[in-house]
Structures are given as structure tokens and as C-alpha cells.
Amino acid sequence: MDGFVTVVLAAGQGTRMNSSLPKVVHKIFDKAMVSYAVDAAFGAGSKKAIIVTGFKEEIVRSELLGKENIIFSHQDRQLGTGHAASMALPFITAEDDVLILYGDMPLLTKETLKNIHDIHKAANADLTLQSTNVDNPFGYGRIVRKDGLLEKIVEQKDATHKQQEINEINTGLYCFKASALREAILGMNNNNAQNELYLTDAVEILLSKGKKVQATISPNNEEFVGVNSRVELAHATKIMQKRINEKLMISGVTIIDPTTTYISVHTKIGKDTIIMPGTVIEGDCVIGQNCTLGPYAHLRPGTILGDNVRIGNFVETKNATLGTGTKVAHLSYIGDALLGENVNFSCGAITVNYDGKNKHLTKIEDNAFIGCNTNLIAPVEVGKGAFIAAGSTITDNLPPDSFGIARQRQTTKENYIKKT
């Protein structure tokens, strides 16, 4: 039977995060770690995902709202990875292949998940696990082999000195036949250093019953980084930043300094756009071709740019659509706005979109000129070809081809002596 079901273990608090939130909802570029894991599974062909939750599960559920074919299973007490996996058994049929992974592994790719399932199917294995080699294996379960064949997995706290020198580690990614998973869980006990049911014990249990168990080694250990602390979260973020930026550059986007450019995985960018250093792009932004962004531009969710748009130094946009050829050179804010084509939005001009209670829309039509330090008090509309004088505060709609000026006439007092 093609396809598989995925079990995502996401019940723990993650004490080393020192957070009131569940570990798996901490974000990398505005996307929760657990959401990365789930999306990778569905991208690889998973039919459904069973999310094992526990600590503050309502927060985990909220991060996955809107995703289809998801089932939640609650784990009252965290009694080990084997116990967590057992929470998914009521939702698994006898014919299923079952992929098990952790919700704190945001760097897994759909290609890797598909590959382990393909290897598992081709070998007709009962259990296939993913291993990799690392320079520093401390903290990971070690892969113990005999004559090149998988013999068992030994956790760090249970490993002998010799076993701790092994560099091949268990990544925590498994593919089971459903029947083998049930059999392994029934055979588990908590006779170990942590008094928990280890999912890793499935290897010895199944081998003792004559089942086919194998470990496939991945040459890319970067994907299997688990996040247990804020330091590790920052490390994973840097890897994701590099991955996102390289993918965009390969697709035809110029990023002058990828190390200082932060772009959401949700953002889409057209060819020949140039992104200057210090630029941050969040959420579901859509950017056309031949645009120039930055340096130090901040594009927030809901930003849509047509082709040949210029967003310059220290410009912030949010929930704003800018038409082809529009220019916002520097030191401006555009929020909750619709700008047409070839609009000139000058230095220091802003849309005043919030009245203290509600957000309001600013609409600027094609070829309008917005002078320096203009305040556009929304809701307001500026017609096609209209011109606004620098320093104006615009509260009323401007018709097409009109001139708007809204500032107090200058008063000059000569021979003025300041009182002391």
C-alpha cells in the first residue's frame, strides 16, 4: 500500500527552553517547529499526521489550525518516547506504514522523509531507522552494529565508555510496519537509567523476534538537529536562513549579504529582485520581479509588491499592496494601504492607519506624488496623478490631478531675542 501515516511526538515542555510555552511551538522565521515537521511529512506523501500532545496542548493545536488530515492524541504523563508512540496506536490501521519523528526537528526535509519510506518499502523491513555520523555524539543514542548489521541503540546515560565513542547516532526518525510497532511497544519495559519506555528498545525487541530491522545512514547530519534550548534554536535558525536564502538565489534572486538577510519560508520573490543587507521579510509576502529592497527594509505580513518596486532604507510595510514601478525610497511606513503604479512615496511619509481602536485603509492611485513628511490620516484616498506638498497632514480625499497642501503658513519674527 502506497503512502504512510506520520506520528509526531510533541508532548514535552522542553525545560531547557526555560519557557512557559511548549517547546515545539517556538518559531523559526514566524513558523512553529512542529509545523515544519508536519509540512515535511505531508510533502513526502503522508496520508495523515497524528500529533501526540501533552504540555499546554491547546497551544500546539492552535499552531496547526487549518491543516487537514491531522489527529491529536493526548499524553497525560510523559513516560518516555515508547509511551508517547503508544498514544498513536488507536489511530493506526494494521496495513499502515508508520513514520515517527519529533516535533522539535524543524530542519527535516520532505525528500529525506520520502527516502526513508522508500528504503523501508524496498527492503520489506519491519523497522527502518535513520542514522547519521556526527563529530560530537554526546547526548544522542548510539548505533551499535555487529559485523556491520544493526544490533541495538544505546542511550547516552546507559552507554559504556566504549559505546560513547561511537559517532553513528540515532536521529529519532523511524519507519515501522504498524504490526511491528504494536509488537515492539508491547515488549517494552522501563528498566533503564530514566525509568522510561524507550522507543529505541524496539530495535532489540524486534530483532529478538526475528524481524527485519535496518539503519540507513544519511550523509547530511544537518537535517537532524534537535532543538532543546534557545541556543540550539538560534543554531537551527541560522541553518534555515542559509537554506531559504540559497534556494532564493538559485531561483534568480540577488541577496547581497545572506548572513544579514532574514526571509520567511512563506515569502515568494520574483527573478532579478535585489535584496540589500539588513532586510527582514516576514510571513506571506509576495514580491515581484526586478524589485530592490533595503538596506534595512522591514516587510511585514501581507505585503505585496508588483514588478520594479523600490523599497529603500528603513522603510516598513505591512498589509500593503504596491503597484508596478512604485518607489518608497527611505524612512517611511506604509500599513493597510493600496498604492497604484508609479507612485512616488517620499522620505518620511507615513500612512496613519490606526485611530487607537481600529485600522483603516489608505488608497493611493497611479502616478500620485506624496511629498516628504506627509501624514495620510486613514481612511483617505488620493486620486490618480494627485500631488501632495511636503509636510502636509491629509485628512480629506484628494481627487485626481489635484494639489493638496495642509500645513500652517510659516511665521517669521525678525530680530527675535530668546528670553533667558
pLDDT digit string (tens) for the chain, length 420 residues = 467 999 999 999 989 999 999 999 999 999 999 999 999 999 999 999 999 999 999 999 999 999 999 999 999 988 999 999 999 999 999 999 999 999 999 999 999 999 999 999 999 999 999 999 999 999 899 999 999 999 999 988 889 999 999 999 999 999 999 999 999 999 999 887 788 898 989 999 999 999 999 999 999 999 999 899 999 999 999 999 999 999 999 999 999 999 999 999 999 999 999 999 999 999 999 999 999 999 999 999 999 999 999 999 999 999 999 999 999 989 999 999 999 999 999 999 999 999 999 999 999 999 999 999 999 999 999 999 999 999 999 999 999 999 999 998 888 888 887 776
330 is catalytic: yes
Which segments within 252-391 are labelled E, that is strand? Answer: 254-255, 262-263, 268-269, 274-275, 280-281, 286-287, 292-293, 298-299, 304-305, 310-313, 316-322, 327-330, 333-339, 344-345, 350-352, 362-364, 369-370, 375-377, 380-382, 387-388
Q: Are 373 and 390 in contact (CB under 8 A)?
A: yes
Lookup result for grid cell 521579510: 281
**According to the model, what pLDDT value does residue 416 have?**
81
Contact of 89 with 7, CB cutoff 8 Å: no
Name the catalytic one among 26, 120, 235, 330.
Answer: 330
Output the pLDDT for position 192.
79
Q: Residue 414: what are its φ and ψ, rounded to 5°?
A: -80, 160
Grid cell 519507519 — which residue?
Answer: 175
Phi (first) and psi of residue 146, to 5 degrees: -130, 120
Asked if residues 22 and 56 have their Cβ atoms less than 8 Å apart, the reply is: yes
Question: Are the beta carbons of 296 and 314 closer than 8 angstroms?
Answer: yes
Q: What is the pTM of this model?
A: 0.90
Rounded CA gap, 395 and 387, in Å? Answer: 14
Other CB atoms within 10 A of residue 122 CB: 9
